[in-house]
Amino acid sequence: MTTTRRTQAQRRAEAEAALLRAAAELMDEQGVRSLTLARVGERAGYSRGLVTHHFGSKQALVERLAHTAQAGFVPGLDGLPPGLDRLLRLIDGYVGQLGRMNVLNRVFLLLWAEAATSPDLAPVFRERSEAFRADLREDLTAGIAEGTIRPDVSPDETATALFAQLRGIGMQQLVDPAHIDTDRLRAHVTEHWRRALIA
């Protein structure tokens, strides 16, 4: 009988994933301010020293959580060319995913809200927000260039409005999920933007 030994890189990746999961669970249960590296290590079954070794500080851990939670929130977009079709799929998929939020997604929204009053978090979430708006602008600009989006649409202002609407729906889902029917809302929001943008 043979056993496959995990490489150091595999062990490191597994430990990091466990630490991020533990940090997200703690924040989801008890809030951002209650998070400490020691509690994360304990929750994940590791020492505080390992948490420090992987992330260096609470700030770095929170930054990694923000990047991890935002990456790949809407599946199925990789490989699609920028333009109206990808934009509408992103809108539909984003609102749909809000109805199936996991711990990491909830924590991202909690951190995003916290960033409004936290000088430590604000730069991280400004960068994350700009990355999202940049993706939206790319789709809008490509749609205008290919003629599927009206030429009088402003990519900058429209990306900001779209971003605000999607994040706003996310915050409503976080605060009052009983009153948000994401399955119905996704069709409404997607159709609204299709009509508003289509050439």
Of 29, 27, 15, the residue nearest 58 (C-alpha): 27
State the pTM of this model: 0.82
The predicted-structure confidence for 74-123, as pLDDT tens digits, reads as follows 888 888 999 999 999 999 999 999 998 888 888 888 888 888 898 888 98
Which has the closest alpha carbon to 167: 88, 82, 108? 108
How far, in Å, CA of 139 to CA of 87, rounded? 6
Distance CA 103, CA 22 (A): 10
CB burial of 128-159 (b: ≥16 within 10 Å; e: otherwise) equals: bbeebbebbbbbbbbbbeeebbeeebebeebb
**What is the tens place of the pLDDT at every residue in 37-76?**
999 999 999 888 889 989 999 889 988 888 887 776 788 8
- Tell me how many degrees the CA angle 108-16-113 measures, rounded to the nearest 5: 15
What's the pLDDT tens digit per position in 151-165? Answer: 999 999 999 999 999
175-178-183 Cα angle (round to 5): 105
Q: What is the mean pLDDT of residues 24-45?
A: 90
Note the CATH architecture for domain 70-197: Orthogonal Bundle (1.10)
Residue ranges of domains in the chain: 8-56, 70-197
**What does the pLDDT average to over 157-179?**
94
Identical topology for domains 8-56 and 70-197: no
Neighbours of 26 (CB within 10 A): 21
Please give the backbone phi and psi of residue 198, each rounded to the nearest 5 degrees, phi first: -65, 140
Fold of 8-56: Arc Repressor Mutant, subunit A (1.10.10)
